[in-house]
């Protein structure tokens, strides 16, 4: 049985990656931090390991000891106070793991890096879609750190690399979009501004499926954007939630300058806190972008990606999970 190392295993996407990797017949090693709660992973027959991402030598020893054939690098941070913090974890640590994997005495067949559509950034007009080879113009430090990671990994000669760039991911266990779920459930439907937007989404199990498919592909040195293949208007998410929750809401539009001021205040309020607010100036840049539509023609043709969930079906599944687990 071949072995796969999954980093970020205790996270939202990591849970679903473990499930799909096991279903594919792989022996799963989950990289976790010693202090991280992994109660929700007890249902899986997997092994655990701890990684020191700051040391290439330490990582190399770990890889050689376990002899992994596959690596899915999904670890990273989506919230940080500084550009340097994002770059250290998302870019430098990714490079260290890839360097270790490429120089270790192992038979590495594939290194899949889970990046983000944020690495390319949104488009500034509504007439096009983000392509796999669209030049990166990220609008956040998070997106810039993911783009930097991609650039670092691309420079490592011989690395059997595939980059997966998911758009906004949702599904069971997701916590950021859950804020909107909770708001809709309470009858409140806030929107930032009233300008036209084109958005894209991907259900987490579809994402996990295509990432595991990438492990077994003969392709290397490729990047793929991933969504459910549809383009949605700015109201589609809220409308889908209202339908799934059987709720009527009070819809209201907050002026962009007002929300921007709120975001700036949140940055000030959290300046000395270890936590990062859900709304800040960085997040505003993504939330107010007009076009996150992306083309998935290549990932469908080259990796056999066939998304099972559109937004309506995915939201129904997600709401059902939230309710059965007492989140709603």
pLDDT digits (tens, 9 = 90+) for 37-90: 999 999 999 999 999 999 999 999 999 999 999 999 999 999 998 999 999 999
Tally of structural domains, the chain:
1
Residue 40 lies in a domain: yes
Evaluate whether 34 touches 50 at the Cβ level (below 8 Å).
yes
Residue 266 counted as domain residue: no
Structural domain boundaries enclosing 154: 3-174+201-228+293-308
pLDDT surpasses 90 at 273: no
Closest CA to 282 of 10, 13, 132, 77: 77
Q: What is the pTM of this model?
A: 0.96
Beta strands in the chain (DSSP E): 3-7, 27-31, 47-49, 70-73, 110-114, 161-166, 168-170, 188-192, 198-199, 201-203, 222-226, 232-233, 250-254
109 within a domain of the structure (yes/no): yes
Torsion of the alpha carbons at 42, 45, 50 and 51, rounded to the nearest 10: -130
Mean pLDDT, to the nearest integer, of 190-197?
96
Banded pLDDT at 177 (limits 50, 70, 90): confident
d(CA 267, CA 82): 11
CA–CA gap between residue 188 and residue 250 (Å, rounded)? 5
Query: Does 282 have pLDDT greater than 90?
Result: no
Residue 275 inside a domain? The answer is no
Calculate mean pLDDT across residues 154-169: 98
Determine, yes or no, domain membership for 42.
yes
Q: 161: pLDDT confidence band, cut at 50, 70 and 90?
A: very high
Mean pLDDT of the chain: 96
Q: What is the pLDDT of residues 6-36, one digit of tens each?
A: 999 999 999 999 999 999 999 999 999 988 8
Of 273, 112, 254, the closest CA to residue 194 belongs to: 254
d(CA 255, CA 252): 10
- Across 240-255, average pLDDT: 96
Asked whether residue 284 is domain-assigned, the answer is no
pLDDT of residue 13: 97
Confidence of residue 279 (pLDDT cuts 50, 70, 90): confident
Two structure tokens written together for 141: 């430090």
Band the pLDDT of 274: cuts 50, 70, 90. confident
Give the model's pLDDT for residue 96.
99
Residue 267 above 90 pLDDT? no
Is pLDDT above 90 for 256?
yes
**CATH number (domain holding residue 14):** 3.40.50.720
- Output the pLDDT for position 167: 98
On the question of pLDDT at 280 being above 90, the answer is no
Strands 110-114, 70-73: pairing kind: parallel
Find the mean pLDDT for residues 148-170: 98
Specify if 259 maps to a domain: no
Calpha distance 178→172 (Å, rounded): 9
The mean per-residue pLDDT over the stretch 153-168 comes to 98
pLDDT of 34 reads 86
Gap between the Cα atoms of 251 and 166, Å rounded: 29
Check residue 68 and give its pLDDT: 99
Quote the tokens at residue 288.
């107010």
Tell me if 43 is assigned to some domain. yes
């Amino acid at each position: 049985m071949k072995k796969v190392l999954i980093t970020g295993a205790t996270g939202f996407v990591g849970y679903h990656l473990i499930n799909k990797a096991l279903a594919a017949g792989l022996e799963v090693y989950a990289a976790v931090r010693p202090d991280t709660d992994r109660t929700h992973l007890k249902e899986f027959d997997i092994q655990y390991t701890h990684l020191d991402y700051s040391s290439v030598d330490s990582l190399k020893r770990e890889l050689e000891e376990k002899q992994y054939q596959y690596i899915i690098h999904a670890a990273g941070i989506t919230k940080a106070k500084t550009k340097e913090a994002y770059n250290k974890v998302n870019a430098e640590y990714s490079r260290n793991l890839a360097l270790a994997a490429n120089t270790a005495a192992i038979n590495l067949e594939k290194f899949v890096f889970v990046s983000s559509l944020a690495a390319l950034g949104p488009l500034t007009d509504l007439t096009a879609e983000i392509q796999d080879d669209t030049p990166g113009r990220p609008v956040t430090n998070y997106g810039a750190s993911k783009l930097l990671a991609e650039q670092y990994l691309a420079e490592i000669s011989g690395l059997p690399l595939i980059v997966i760039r998911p758009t906004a991911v949702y599904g069971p266990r997701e916590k950021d979009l859950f804020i909107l779920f909770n708001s809709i459930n309470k009858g409140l439907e806030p929107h930032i501004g009233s300008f036209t937007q084109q958005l894209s989404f991907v259900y987490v199990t579809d994402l996990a499926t295509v990432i595991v498919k990438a492990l077994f592909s003969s392709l290397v040195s490729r990047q793929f954007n991933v969504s459910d293949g549809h383009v949605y208007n700015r109201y589609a998410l809220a409308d889908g939630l209202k339908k799934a929750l059987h709720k009527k809401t009070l819809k209201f539009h907050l002026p962009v300058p007002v929300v921007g001021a709120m975001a700036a205040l949140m940055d000030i309020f959290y300046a000395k806190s270890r936590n990062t607010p859900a709304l800040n100036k960085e997040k505003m840049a993504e939330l107010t972008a007009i076009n996150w539509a992306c083309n998935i023609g290549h990932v469908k043709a080259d990796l056999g990606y066939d998304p099972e969930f559109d937004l309506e079906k995915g939201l129904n599944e997600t709401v059902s999970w939230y309710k059965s687990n007492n989140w709603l």
